[in-house]
A and B are shown apart, each in its own frame.
Chain A
């Protein structure tokens, strides 16, 4: 039979405490997207439908315009394979992304905190031509 020393029990307890704290932090409202998803659940001021088919994005006819600090909802659909809907800052930094699965309305709510124009890219591999799926300045965010 395995005997556990006092020091080993303390070590085990320490591991459990670390696991609980890290898991607690990851769902805490301190993390913005966890706040929106689990805690504050904001209502979107505008909704934009994006459809993707055979490597092509189709955006709303009026374009995508949002205001800083205002929640907006993106609903993306695919007619064939899984794509990604990624929004990128001018500097190349990714702001957010979600997968776009066929047969589903793939939804995400986002609050932009900086004005400017943003690029849409597919962030999921969808076949050999996926790297051409880039729409520069497709989203305009005003103050």
Chain B
């Protein structure tokens, strides 16, 4: 007998439970690190030592934000969006199986990252300035950390694929061709649909957003969905950049572990690396913490207050402005560091 597909409610709750588990782990890590300020002296060989050695303290300080951001915040958001996006758009989730699989990938990846810190003392902090990982920590700890990080980022990409595929899937209420739907969706994600309609109105042209029809046609996507898509752009950049840093670490640490070969890490420009890495890292704050969370409030506030969202068009422009500003952060960091101004 064929098994009935999992309900979205169950999937969503499963994510919530795992997310809360990681929140608990992050909390315990925080308490553990704060014992450095106490008079406690405790030593359980291979398990626990208070006060912690500097290597242990900094390795926990490295794992802590990763568990907090990717374990708690990301999984809580994933769980909520897996229920909300299909329900709001009245569509089926593209793949429940993919959603379940990448949850496990995420859990295994994060626990691997955590183990690299707790057991192998990998402690480059979340800044991971090049060539700190290669110069100061064992090759095996670098490899375990990088593999765990790659699994987590792959999981993030699976989530975004699942959500994009769900939003773009055709249904009875969405008869637009795939090309028009994608264009319309991306335009709305960046808040450009309103500007395009305004310009088309000025010039008296037909608008491509309406699939060639001048009037009615496509309704703008709900702001919540626009925020999900916009946040997803940042999350993809974040995942690609952070996973790229993991691949770079592997490229240097694997030859050391397997052949005893130590390559000069400074063949990679630390400034270029830092700027690209921070650009990707900032996207966690921008995409997940800011845009996804704001999008959820844009959904909940009107629903709970039973009135339309105030300034909805402004919100769309602000989402666009945030994208431009967040891209500007990279160029800002790059241009204002003030290195070699006179040489």
The chain A residues found within 8 Å of chain B, CB to CB, are 1-4, 8, 11-12, 15, 19, 37, 80-82, 98-99, 101-108, 124-129, 131
CB neighbours (8 Å) of B266 from chain A are 102-103
CA distance A37 to B316 in the complex (A): 36
Q: Is B197 an interface residue (CB 8 A)?
A: yes
The reply to whether B129 and A82 contact each other, CB–CB distance below 8 Å, is yes
CA distance A127 to B121 in the complex (A): 11
Take A8-B314, A105-B343, A107-B342 as given contacts and tell me if A99 and B131 are in contact as well, using a CB distance cutoff of 8 Å: no
The reply to whether B274 and A2 contact each other, CB–CB distance below 8 Å, is no
Which B-chain residue is minimally distant from A83 (CB atoms)? B129
> Which of B220, B314, B341 has the most chain A CB atoms closer than 10 A to its own CB?
B314
The reply to whether B125 and A107 contact each other, CB–CB distance below 8 Å, is no
CB distance from A134 to the nearest CB of B (A): 15
Take A82-B270, A82-B274, A126-B132 as given contacts and tell me if A108 and B338 are in contact as well, using a CB distance cutoff of 8 Å: yes
CB neighbours (8 Å) of A131 from chain B are 54
The chain B residues found within 8 Å of chain A, CB to CB, are 53-55, 57-58, 123, 125, 127, 129-132, 135-136, 193-194, 197, 220, 266, 269-271, 274, 311-314, 316-318, 321, 337-343
Take A81-B136, A125-B125, A128-B136 as given contacts and tell me if A12 and B314 are in contact as well, using a CB distance cutoff of 8 Å: yes
Extra contacts besides A108-B338, A125-B58, A128-B123 (5): CB < 8 Å: A1-B194, A2-B312, A81-B132, A98-B338, A103-B266
CB distance from B288 to the nearest CB of A (A): 23
Take A82-B274, A128-B58 as given contacts and tell me if A2 and B269 are in contact as well, using a CB distance cutoff of 8 Å: no
CA distance A129 to B297 in the complex (A): 44
The A interface is mostly helix, strand or loop, or mixed, namely: loop
CA distance A9 to B274 in the complex (A): 39
CA distance A65 to B58 in the complex (A): 35
Take A101-B270, A102-B266, A128-B55 as given contacts and tell me if A8 and B220 are in contact as well, using a CB distance cutoff of 8 Å: no
Which A-chain residue is minimally distant from B343 (CB atoms)? A105
CB neighbours (8 Å) of A105 from chain B are 339-340, 343
CB neighbours (8 Å) of B314 from chain A are 4, 8, 11-12, 15
CA distance A1 to B338 in the complex (A): 46
CB neighbours (8 Å) of A127 from chain B are 58, 123, 132, 135-136
Which B-chain residue is minimally distant from A78 (CB atoms)? B270
23 pairs of residues in contact across A and B, judged by CB atoms under 8 Å: A1-B194, A1-B220, A2-B220, A4-B194, A4-B313, A8-B312, A81-B135, A82-B129, A82-B274, A98-B338, A101-B271, A102-B131, A103-B266, A103-B270, A104-B339, A106-B339, A107-B342, A125-B58, A126-B132, A127-B58, A127-B123, A127-B135, A127-B136
Take A2-B316, A8-B311, A125-B58 as given contacts and tell me if A101 and B339 are in contact as well, using a CB distance cutoff of 8 Å: yes
B339 touches which one: A12, A80, A107, A129 (CB < 8 A)? Answer: A107
CB distance from A7 to the nearest CB of B (A): 8
A99 touches which one: B135, B194, B337, B340 (CB < 8 A)? Answer: B337
Which A-chain residue is minimally distant from B193 (CB atoms)? A2
CA distance A128 to B55 in the complex (A): 5
CB distance from B204 to the nearest CB of A (A): 15
Which B-chain residue is minimally distant from A126 (CB atoms)? B132
A81 touches which one: B131, B197, B316 (CB < 8 A)? Answer: B131
B270 touches which one: A3, A98, A102, A108 (CB < 8 A)? Answer: A102
CB neighbours (8 Å) of A124 from chain B are 129
CB neighbours (8 Å) of A108 from chain B are 338
